[in-house]
Every structure is written in C-alpha cells, then in structure tokens.
Amino acid sequence: MANYTVLIETGDSRDGIWQALAPAENTSSDDSAVEVAAWVAANRNVADGDHWRVRVWSGTDADTGTTPAAEYTGADLALDELCGNRDRAAGLDARRDELVRKLMAMEPTVPRAEIAKAARVSEPRLYQIRDGR
C-alpha cells in the first residue's frame, strides 16, 4: 500500500494563482497517484465551478511546493464525462440501429414513417441503417 499527500486547491490556471482549500491530507491506497487524484475529484465536493485541482504527491507529508506525482482538474473531470457520454451514446446508437433493422424486417406491419419518427431519423436514413451504412 502506497502513502500519498493530497491537496485540493482552487484558483485559475490562466493567472497561475492557486489557493489550498484545506491543509494537505495524508492517505494510503493500493491505487496509483493518478487514480487517487481522479477518485478524490470524483467523490468529493471539490469546489464550485471548474477552477480547481487535486494534486497528489508520493509519501506522507510531502513537500507540496514540488511537482506532484499526479494532478486532476475540473477540465479533466469534464473531459472524462464527455468521453463517458460519447461511449454511452455509441452504445445507444448501436442499439437504435439494431431495433431499426428488426422493425424494418417487420414492414409493412410497422410502417416506415412510424419507424423513422420513433428513431428520429429520415426514412432514407432507415435504409442506410438497415444496410449498415
């Protein structure tokens, strides 16, 4: 198990002025410094807005004036969320396409216009989806 020093700061990267929200804390974890920083950012109410960062140093009572082993910012959290949303959207698109193909095979029982409306695509797009394009 590794020991880390964790510091949460608020400020603005554009002007380089950062202020600690509380004294640095020591923690132990089987995770890497990067994973600890990401976990702290995701599981604590870090700060209002996106102008914050979580910095992690290896060892207890590390010198917080040195370069940290890991840093995680509000921008990193937003990027991770965007990637997760993109991945979920891709999965939903694949499921939509699967259902469109299934319903297209049921035509004329289920009219094309109804399928297009439910999928929120045009009727020509239904054929593209059906044909894997």
Which pLDDT does position 13 carry in this prediction?
A: 65
pLDDT in tens, 6-51: 999 988 767 778 889 889 999 999 999 999 999 998 887 666 667 8
Q: How far, in Å, are 20, 27, 56, 76 from residue 4 at the CA level?
A: 17, 5, 6, 20
Which pLDDT does position 58 carry in this prediction?
A: 96
> Quick one: tokens of 13?
């990267």
> Quick one: tokens of 59?
């060892």
Which pLDDT does position 47 carry in this prediction?
A: 61
**Averaged pLDDT, 103-119:** 91
Check: CB of residue 59 under 8 Å from CB of residue 28.
Answer: no
DSSP-derived secondary structure for 64-83: TTS--SEEEEHHHHHHHHHH
**pLDDT band of 115, cuts 50, 70, 90:** very high
Helix/strand/coil percentages in the chain, nearest 5: 45, 25, 30
**Averaged pLDDT, 76-84:** 85
pLDDT in tens, 63-77: 998 999 999 988 888
pLDDT in tens, 117-130: 999 999 999 999 99
d(CA 74, CA 129): 37
